[in-house]
């Protein structure tokens, strides 16, 4: 009877990858200061000490660390006496799969990764080394965000004395051509990274046959461990006319810029593309089922970003559910919703979520437990910084106010809403919102939230502070860099409101203070 395989989904944190590598029967390098106390309990024996030769960026060097040859206890049914083609076989060469494979070989494991042929738009038969983030997600999206921000910069510049004899114009084809050239460069770099790390790259679609066997387009490979790192793909709901809709993949590779676009969805992908096309002078309408955008984000942030994006000309249609897309004789589209019909769209885009790309991977053959949406259940990470590259952008780490109340009860909330220095001369209505959420009992900072220019860059540093468990007193003791927006996080002294849980009534008591 076949044993259940040790299938793991990738996450970005190194400790999780270390856990995976410790399960491999391979040599593991430990710093020279390491002692037996630092070894995982699963390691059964140690052997000889000798220098390790490794290759980094085409340079060979002798590691100063000591090499302990160790063997982990096998908990996935692998036969210690059997020869396998690889110690680790990864299906999916996106950011997670590439990193995991490189990490494994750096510990001495043999590794392979399979991936579909390159394409800017994903499908059952096309993908590419680099995956969603590099090819049809974070990277190309951010390039288009950069392109779209110039419109606002041109407007800003007038207050600083800049004048233009003619209005700047934008050439969409140049942007897309340059973006695609960069993607080709990046996928080539990823292939070189795998090659330099001695990871075998196999082109094709992988499928799990049994706990230690993977089929790639008819060729069989055996492996001690299997890693699933296939990511997800955009989801378009099944409504009449869905064939006329585009998703985020297609939106990044359109042959022409939309004149008037409907974006269905209120999540971060919808907001990011709304900002992109608005910045490139398209007429943008966003349709959301909820009253507010960004469900799951802090309520104050949701309110603020919606207001700011509306001021930039994006029209939000709230509490409207899509029912059908209708194509007119002139080639334009109408979007029918639960509240009516809006006509004249050149494009209708759905940003209504993504579905795990686990279909037809053979996971059902080996008893892997999947969530209802097809995701493989994995380790939950806390205090992970994230960003929404909307315009204005959002940076956030830790708990929302609502989550903090639920988990801690008594909290202090510090907020600041101000006009940034740049906007004092530009005359534009740009503002910045910042928020700290603090546990009233321990003074620990539970959440940091920001919406405004440079939020993603700023939140990365504060992510370290939240992860480290720093207190509001630590923030207060830090000298702010002046003049910056970021200094506001270390100069907020008076709570905007204090929320205390009243056990007698079971309700939260809010002591509100007027913000200056």
CB-neighbour burial class of residue 256 (10 A; exposed 0-12, middle 13-18, buried 19+)? exposed
pLDDT at 145: 98
pLDDT at 69: 34
pLDDT at 185: 97
Residue 485 · residue 432 · CB < 8 Å: yes
Residue 93 · residue 194 · CB < 8 Å: yes
Residue 465 · residue 445 · CB < 8 Å: yes
pLDDT at 108: 97
pLDDT at 37: 35
Taking only the tens place, the pLDDT of each residue in 3-12 is 444 444 443 4
Cis peptide before 483, with omega less than 30 degrees from 0? yes
pTM: 0.85
Please give the Cα distance from 187 to 182 (Å, whole number).
9
pLDDT at 26: 45
pLDDT at 472: 98
pLDDT at 88: 98
pLDDT at 80: 80
Please give the Cα distance from 445 to 436 (Å, whole number).
7
Can you say how many angstroms the Cα of residue 440 is from the centroid of all Cα atoms in its chain?
31
Show the low-confidence residues of the chain (pLDDT under 70): 1-76, 503-516
Annotated catalytic residues are 482
Q: Which long-range contacts (CB under 8 A, 24 or more apart) does 252-256 make?
A: 252/120, 252/136, 252/140, 252/141, 252/144, 252/179, 253/120, 253/121, 253/136, 253/176, 253/180, 254/172, 254/176, 254/347, 256/172
């Amino acid at each position: 009877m076949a044993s259940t395989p040790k299938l793991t989904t990738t996450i970005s944190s190194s400790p999780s990858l270390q856990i995976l590598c410790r399960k491999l029967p391979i040599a593991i390098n430990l710093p020279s200061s390491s002692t037996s106390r630092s070894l995982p309990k699963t390691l059964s024996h140690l052997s000889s000490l000798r220098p390790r030769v490794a290759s980094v960026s085409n340079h060979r060097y002798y590691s100063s660390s000591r090499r302990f040859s160790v063997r982990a206890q096998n908990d996935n049914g692998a036969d210690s006496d059997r020869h396998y083609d690889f110690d680790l076989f990864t299906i999916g060469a996106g950011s997670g799969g590439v990193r995991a494979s490189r990490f494994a070989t750096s510990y001495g494991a043999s590794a392979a990764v399979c991936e579909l042929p390159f394409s800017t738009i994903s499908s059952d038969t096309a993908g590419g080394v680099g995956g969603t983030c590099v090819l049809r997600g974070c990277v190309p999206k951010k390039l288009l965000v950069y392109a779209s921000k110039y419109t606002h910069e041109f407007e800003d510049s007038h207050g600083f004395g800049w004048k233009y004899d003619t209005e700047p114009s934008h050439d969409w084809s140049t942007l897309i051509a340059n973006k695609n050239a960069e993607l080709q460069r990046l996928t080539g770099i990823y292939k070189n990274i795998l090659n330099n790390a001695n990871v075998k790259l196999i082109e094709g679609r992988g499928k799990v046959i049994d706990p230690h066997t993977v089929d790639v387009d008819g060729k069989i490979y055996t492996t001690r461990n299997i890693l699933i790192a296939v990511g997800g793909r955009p989801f378009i709901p099944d409504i009449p006319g869905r064939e006329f809709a585009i998703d985020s993949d297609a939106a990044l590779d359109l042959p022409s810029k939309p004149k008037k676009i409907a974006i269905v969805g209120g999540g971060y992908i919808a907001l990011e593309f709304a900002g992109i096309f608005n910045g490139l002078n398209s007429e943008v309408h966003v349709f959301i089922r909820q009253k507010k955008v960004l469900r799951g984000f802090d309520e104050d942030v949701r309110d603020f970003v919606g207001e700011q994006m509306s001021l930039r000309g994006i029209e939000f249609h709230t509490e409207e559910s899509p029912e059908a897309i209708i194509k007119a004789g002139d080639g334009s589209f109408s979007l029918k919703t639960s509240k009516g019909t809006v006509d004249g769209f050149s494009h209708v885009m759905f940003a209504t979520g993504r579905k795990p790309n686990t279909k037809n991977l053979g996971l059902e053959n080996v008893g892997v437990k999947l969530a209802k949406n097809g995701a493989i259940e994995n380790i939950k990470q806390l205090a992970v910084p994230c960003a929404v590259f909307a315009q204005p952008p959002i940076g956030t780490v830790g708990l929302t106010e609502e989550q903090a109340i639920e988990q801690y009860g008594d909290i202090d909330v510090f907020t600041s809403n101000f006009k940034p220095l740049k906007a004092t001369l530009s005359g534009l209505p740009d503002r910045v919102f910042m928020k700290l959420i603090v546990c009233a009992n321990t003074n620990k900072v539970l959440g940091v939230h920001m919406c405004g220019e440079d939020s993603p860059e700023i939140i990365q540093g504060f992510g370290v502070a939240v992860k480290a468990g720093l207190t509001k007193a630590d923030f207060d003791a830090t000298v702010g860099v002046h003049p910056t927006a970021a200094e506001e996080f270390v100069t907020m002294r008076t709570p905007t409101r204090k929320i205390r849980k009243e056990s007698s009534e079971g309700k939260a008591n809010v002591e509100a203070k007027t913000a200056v």
